[in-house]
Structure 1
């Protein structure tokens, strides 16, 4: 008898679940041959979607691998964004139809006057999917131990600064004294090693890579308390594009929702990560995975905008409902 390793068994199980999901959704009225005419009514059948190499976008890869968009009559071209700001600039330039970005970035741009419409939520944080990380020999072992910690973040202001302030404030730290240093995630381990920062705010898979390669430890999960299940990111279009292509975007949201449901099986997410993120298969199998919402929820997203206003990242309250497609409710 041939013995198969746990990785093979896990991938086989993931393939079986994927196949069952496709069978279950084959009759959806949005899909050609499923009893509906949505595919023939869309304004266009091609969408250019900007993405970053993030765990957040795994359902898009699952959808493409399983031909969910193709079966619905949509051709999806994934375009690498050099940054979130680049993706949002390309929306206005018309070189992207849909862009991926953190909700913090999207709401900052919307408050600054960019005419955006949200199309789908991408990701919510789960346990240890974003965290303050230190090296194993660090004497920074308690979040309350340093009154003015030096923290590496990928953007300032951004999700890292917002959630770090929230979590450290609960242990008595004066958040105005936190010293943030902006750098790419890939540079953070070097900054920890050379002592230029006390801790680094990381997301997956960088947390797992640092743990595996350096024995790094989590000082504190930053998805806790007020930031528990924090809505991390979304997909958006320009308002002009949304107004011109409502049926196309409705179909996009429907198919993406199916893929987000598939991603509830974290084995599928872990199996697809190595295809587009700089992580090997064994490391990907250890990555902590959050939640992939299957629909837009303005109440959930308003929570982010309100936290941003409280933190001074927005000067006035942003009404997230105004960024929703017509008819979107809680």
Structure 2
């Protein structure tokens, strides 16, 4: 379960030197007085990646403070730490890719999505993730991946599931693709060294690899569904039931943040420099995800079906309605 719950967010981005595990302070909600009245301390478990830029922008713009939320972000390595942290009460909210949330639900973990996190931008060839090969590779399309070794950051998750779908759509045999697990930040070197034939990369690894001459031959998110919801913010069912007003305020603030980030992409790029070490040409060139306020239900149903087909969820089917209502 540890490997399968590694989350976006590692699914979408990772880079050497990004903030590591954060504070071990308790994430319990605390009411405190301020000049504007009572505020509630809310801790959010996140992975310091491109996808969570709206959360930081929303804090900067005061969208959370305006609703009485004193926001604190705590960095974790992935969903394997964030999901249990939310359920235990260490965090009130967390960020994870949608396949990991579905998997947690099928395992009986009491979680509920409360706001959209990130989505595919729908651009084949220029999406937030892509399958890349070396410049001189004979591979030209997803169909050519059959019989080849492809790197993904986490096995049996959203990466290999969407890559298989892309191969299937291109007329190849997805069962013949061999997947190996490699962290995103190590993928450009693994590709250059010939340790893998192709690599499914998120940002900024994708931009770094392209600068070294790598080519994109497939865009698994966009080709699976151009409106694919790939990540979400979530809470425990306990908090959702016992503190619906807090959940409502967080969702409202998060939606305002997503709208602001969508309307101000340059600010979204700049905010990355405050919580990651991404900078220079990579910062200017990396591809941003889409940040709609609503999850795309049909895309989630499709992702669940693909996960079932791949055996990700065992013998249980995710309840999309309950998880993303």
Q: TM-score, normalised by structure 1?
A: 0.80
Q: Tell me the alpha carbon deviations over residues 148-191 of structure 1, each in whole angstroms, 9 at most, x when there is no partner.
A: 11010010111110110000111222111111111110111121
Aligned residue for 2:150, secondary structure, equals strand
**Contact 1:262/1:268, CA 8 A, preserved across alignment:** no
**Contact 1:120/1:236, CA 8 A, preserved across alignment:** yes
Structure 1 323/142 Cα, relative in aligned 2: closer, same or farther at 3 Å?
closer
Superposition pairs of residues 87-98 of structure 1, within 5 angstroms? 87-98=82-93
Q: Tell me the alpha carbon deviations over residues 245-276 of structure 1, each in whole angstroms, 9 at most, x when there is no partner.
A: 11011001001111100111322222222222
Superposition pairs of residues 235-246 of structure 1, within 5 angstroms? 235-246=233-244
For residues 145 and 160 of structure 2, the distance between their equivalents in structure 1, rounded to whole angstroms, comes to 16
Aligned residue for 1:290, secondary structure, equals coil
**Contact 1:133/1:201, CA 8 A, preserved across alignment:** yes
- Aligned residue number for residue 194 of structure 1: 193
Among candidates 212, 216, 219, match of residue 218 of structure 1: 216
Aligned residue for 2:275, secondary structure, equals coil
For residues 222 and 65 of structure 2, the distance between their equivalents in structure 1, rounded to whole angstroms, comes to 39
Q: How many residues align?
A: 284
Aligned residue for 1:253, secondary structure, equals helix
Runs of 4+ in 1 over 6 A off after TM superposition: none
**Contact 2:100/2:157, CA 8 A, preserved across alignment:** yes
Q: Tell me the alpha carbon deviations over residues 12-42 of structure 1, each in whole angstroms, 9 at most, x when there is no partner.
A: xxxxxxxxxxxxxxxxxxxxxxxxxxx97x9
Superposition pairs of residues 147-162 of structure 1, within 5 angstroms? 147-162=146-161
Structure 1 296/142 Cα, relative in aligned 2: closer, same or farther at 3 Å?
closer
- 2:113 pairs with 1:118: yes
Q: Tell me the alpha carbon deviations over residues 163-221 of structure 1, each in whole angstroms, 9 at most, x when there is no partner.
A: 10000111222111111111110111121122110111011222112222x12221212
**Contact 2:145/2:177, CA 8 A, preserved across alignment:** no
For residues 288 and 116 of structure 1, the distance between their equivalents in structure 2, rounded to whole angstroms, comes to 30
Note the C-alpha offset of 1:282.
Answer: 3.1
**Contact 2:111/2:236, CA 8 A, preserved across alignment:** yes
Superposition pairs of residues 1-330 of structure 1, within 5 angstroms? 45-126=40-121, 127=123, 128-212=127-211, 214-265=212-263, 266-296=265-295, 298-314=297-313, 315-324=315-324, 328=325
**Contact 1:119/1:296, CA 8 A, preserved across alignment:** no
Note the C-alpha offset of 1:117.
Answer: 1.1
For residues 298 and 79 of structure 1, the distance between their equivalents in structure 2, rounded to whole angstroms, comes to 29
Q: Tell me the alpha carbon deviations over residues 226-249 of structure 1, each in whole angstroms, 9 at most, x when there is no partner.
A: 332211101111111221211011
Structure 1 stretch 290-299 or stretch 52-61: which is displaced more?
290-299
Q: Tell me the alpha carbon deviations over residues 97-133 of structure 1, each in whole angstroms, 9 at most, x when there is no partner.
A: 1111100001001011101111111010122211101
Structure 1 146/67 Cα, relative in aligned 2: closer, same or farther at 3 Å?
closer
Unaligned stretches of 5+ residues in structure 2:
1-35
For residues 225 and 207 of structure 1, the distance between their equivalents in structure 2, rounded to whole angstroms, comes to 17
For residues 192 and 155 of structure 1, the distance between their equivalents in structure 2, rounded to whole angstroms, comes to 17
Is the radius of gyration larger for structure 1 or structure 2? 1
Note the C-alpha offset of 1:300.
Answer: 4.4
Unaligned stretches of 5+ residues in structure 1:
1-38
Aligned residue for 1:262, secondary structure, equals helix
Structure 1 stretch 217-226 or stretch 195-204: which is displaced more?
217-226
For residues 278 and 200 of structure 1, the distance between their equivalents in structure 2, rounded to whole angstroms, comes to 23
Note the C-alpha offset of 1:146.
Answer: 4.5
Structure 1 142/306 Cα, relative in aligned 2: closer, same or farther at 3 Å?
closer
**Contact 1:49/1:99, CA 8 A, preserved across alignment:** yes
